[in-house]
Amino acid sequence: MAPGAGPLTLGDFASMSVDSLLGVGPKKLEALRAAEIETLLDLLMHYPLRYIDRTRQAAIDELVPGDEAMVLGEVLSSQARRTRSGRTLVTVTISDGSGRLSLTFFNQPWRARQLPEGTQIVVFGKIDVYRGSRQMANPVVDLVGDKTGRIVPVYPQSEKAGLHTWDLADWVAQVLRRSAQRGIADPVPAEVLTRWDLVSRQAALHGIHGPESMPEASDARRRLVFDELLRVQLELVRRKRMLEAMESGIEHRVEGPTMSAFRARLPFALTSAQERVIGEIASDLAAPSPMHRLLQGDVGSGKTLVAVASLLMAVQGGHQGAFMAPTEVLAEQHFAGVSEILEGFVVEDRSDSLFPERELRVALLSSRVGSAQRKRILAELASGEIDIAVGTHALIQEAVEFASLGVVVVDEQHRFGVEQRAALRTKSARGATPDVLVMTATPIPRTAAMTVYGDLDVSVLDELPPGRTPIATYWARTDLDEVGVWASVREAVAAGNQAYVVCPLIEESSKLDVRSVEETYERLEADELAGLRLGLLHGRLSPAEKDQVMELFRSGRLDVLVATTVIEVGVDVPNATVMAIVDADRFGIAQLHQLRGRVGRGSAASACHLIAKALTPDAEERLAALVRTTDGFELAEVDLELRGEGTIMGERQKGRNDLRLASLRRDREWVERAREVALDLTDGDPELAKLPELAAEISVVLGEAEGEFLLKG
């Protein structure tokens, strides 16, 4: 790296290939590419997995049987042999000067070649004693080379590709050494670094790859975590502000006779959470820029009522509302719910009619509506005679015209991005963009919502309406427990109620799935639930067959519905009070919580039974959490702890360079700080014109495609 004009930026590192480094020949270059390391930036962002602190590493002679330990030592001997059963057994002896440790590897014959005499290795595993000597069976192995530093970084490495931790450490050190003359640019304003007590970018890169002490590594990580989160937040906030500047919205009249009449006719008081959220939405609707808000509400928290209030604020000002659902079944259910809430509701008539008031009109537009009726509904939407349309995403297709679409509520469709918003613009008066409220019943931890849905304002319904009976959750861990589950199903039916039995998908195969649910259905009908009226529901039934089974269950002509997860969303039968989930360990926390929400929808006490016997530790924790709480937000935090942010960031299809170090679990406070800084930096400068190096860095690291995806859907 020859002297140039000023310090090196991340863009400079991204423009240089790793084949410019000493020691990277054709074979190593291929190995690096296999690990998705093509540029010097990729290499610098390939951070150590962990560190060996030689001042604190365990000495072999101090190891206690039963403990897990990390040991750095030199291979004294390595040999492979076959056991009587035909398996390969590799035995390796290592020493650290204080004592000897025996390592055994079953069915890993390549270990003998990997660990010849003299190799420096780090092993991690559980200490056992065999014939009086300490040993580890199948430990995790890292090859570190002859490192003399006090702190040895251990990198993610690929034995198949032939990349070892000492290769990576040497190449990174080479990049940092060759960068020393020009230095490394730091585009984050100095006042931000001072405010949060963060080290410089140059110090952070040196500290993460070659720390002199563990506190130095920790300081480096904090800075680089902040950088990762700040880039994501800046991109989200920047694009959000650009959209707000580009789009003109409708300034709705949010207070008036329509809203007063709506509140007056409710048979119960709204919860304080509903009042708060309706206030947040009203504030958005009254503003000149279009709303783009995410409403999170646990199962049964009263989201539909908030949605109806939002739609009525549009109607009050002479506009129309659209309520969109992901499936026909859910659209029909929303139509029934909205129609019931607004039955006989009267609004101001703004036409040339002689009468000052008229009845509000709600229409369902779905594929099941006949052609003549569909034609009439389309004409009445275009003329403004229909106030609220309920349907699937077909509502924003070209054939559907609104006189003036003011508010759109989107249910369970997490991403609703710029393309859909552009389609909406053509549906409104004067080319204004309608306000959008996206609802989800899947609680998302606050930090994840900020990162995944950072382009939306977030409202949370965190309170259940009075009168909702809490669902008791039980875990059937033994055959005897399971006998009790079927007895409780019989008791519920005897008391005039109904029950669900849910079976899991197996290997995502519809054939296996159907066989599993059919076998369960046949067994229950012949044995545990003999004499009861059972129905069967799964994904391979035709829509007409599904409708028929669901109608029989809704009308009470079936006692028990044996189903797959097709009932997860959109099935509302208040008389169903018991659910039994077979092989509950096959489901994730969010799915189990959604399924459980199908019962407890009436005033009768309800129960959910989780049937699961042979379990992994993760499954144990998942099921224990479900038994402990019905709070979806608490469960979402547990899920984040257990599964990590991969599942959540998957919503965003995270890019290769996105969140390498940052963790939405460990770094919650840094997500919030990065959001705060992003809002400050873009305030009055959404394009970051005053910080061109930072704007360029976002483009380099996130890439245009990733940036577009953040708001696209």
Tens of pLDDT along 295-351? 988 777 888 899 999 999 999 988 999 999 877 778 888 898 899 889 989 887 765
- In this structure, the answer to whether residues 453 and 475 fall within a common structural domain is no
If pLDDT is split at 50, 70 and 90, which confidence band does 542 have?
confident
Average pLDDT (148-155) is 74
Q: Which DSSP symbol is given to 138?
A: S
pTM of the shown model: 0.69
**CATH number of residue 409's parent domain:** 3.40.50.300
- In this structure, the answer to whether residues 241 and 297 fall within a common structural domain is no
- In this structure, the answer to whether residues 438 and 291 fall within a common structural domain is yes
Question: Nearest Cα to 650, choosing from 564, 590, 597?
Answer: 590
Radius of gyration of the chain from Cα atoms?
A: 31
- In this structure, the answer to whether residues 411 and 524 fall within a common structural domain is no
Domain that holds residue 609: 471-629
- In this structure, the answer to whether residues 239 and 261 fall within a common structural domain is no
**Is the separation of the CB atoms in 3 and 178 below 8 Å?**
no
- Classify residue 652: in a domain, yes or no: no
**Is the separation of the CB atoms in 320 and 384 below 8 Å?**
yes
Q: Which DSSP symbol is given to 443?
A: -
- In this structure, the answer to whether residues 477 and 414 fall within a common structural domain is no
Question: Nearest Cα to 610, choosing from 500, 693, 509?
Answer: 500
The answer on pLDDT for 92 being more than 90 is yes
Question: Nearest Cα to 698, choosing from 82, 284, 230?
Answer: 230
Query: How far apart, in whole angstroms, are the C-alpha atoms of residue 301 and residue 461?
Result: 6
Crossing angle of the two packed helices 328-341 and 543-554, in degrees rounded to 10: 40
- In this structure, the answer to whether residues 612 and 695 fall within a common structural domain is no
Q: What are the backbone dihedrals phi and psi of residue 79, each rounded to the nearest 5 degrees, phi first? A: -145, 150
pLDDT value, residue 445 = 75
- Which of the two residues, 653 and 490, has the higher pLDDT score? 490
Type of residue found at 594: Q
Count the neighbouring beta carbons within 10 Å of the beta carbon of residue 211: 23
- CA 362, 325, 384, 379 dihedral sign is negative
Helix (H, G, I), strand (E, B) or coil at 702: helix
Count CA atoms closer than 13 A to 151's CA, side-chain side.
18
Count the neighbouring beta carbons within 10 Å of the beta carbon of residue 86: 7
Q: Which DSSP symbol is given to 39?
A: B
Query: How far apart, in whole angstroms, are the C-alpha atoms of residue 449 and residue 458?
Result: 8
The answer on pLDDT for 638 being more than 90 is no
- In this structure, the answer to whether residues 338 and 368 fall within a common structural domain is yes
The domain boundary residue, chosen from 442, 461, 480? 461
If pLDDT is split at 50, 70 and 90, which confidence band does 630 have?
confident
- In this structure, the answer to whether residues 620 and 477 fall within a common structural domain is yes
Question: Nearest Cα to 11, choosing from 47, 39, 48, 34?
Answer: 39
- Classify residue 165: in a domain, yes or no: no
How far CA 168 is from CA of 145, 165, 221, 339, in Å, comes to: 11, 5, 18, 64
Query: How far apart, in whole angstroms, are the C-alpha atoms of residue 319 and residue 356?
Result: 17
| E strands in 127-232 | 128-130, 133-137, 140-143, 151-154
Instruction: Identify the top-confidence range among 405-419, 634-648, 668-682.
Output: 668-682
Residue-wise pLDDT for 93-102, tens only, equals 999 989 999 9
How far CA 287 is from CA of 241, 593, 670, in Å, comes to: 14, 36, 30
Residue-wise pLDDT for 44-88, tens only, equals 999 998 887 766 667 898 888 888 788 889 999 999 998 888 889
Q: Give me the count of residues in the chain.
A: 713
Residue with tokens 């129905």: 535
If pLDDT is split at 50, 70 and 90, which confidence band does 609 have?
very high
Task: Tell me the β-bridge partners of 409.
Answer: 323, 437
pLDDT value, residue 299 = 73
The domain boundary residue, chosen from 570, 604, 629? 629
- Classify residue 83: in a domain, yes or no: yes
Residues 159-182 as b/e (b if ≥16 CB within 10 A, e otherwise) read eeeebbbbbbbebbebbbebbeeb
- In this structure, the answer to whether residues 230 and 266 fall within a common structural domain is no
- Classify residue 36: in a domain, yes or no: no
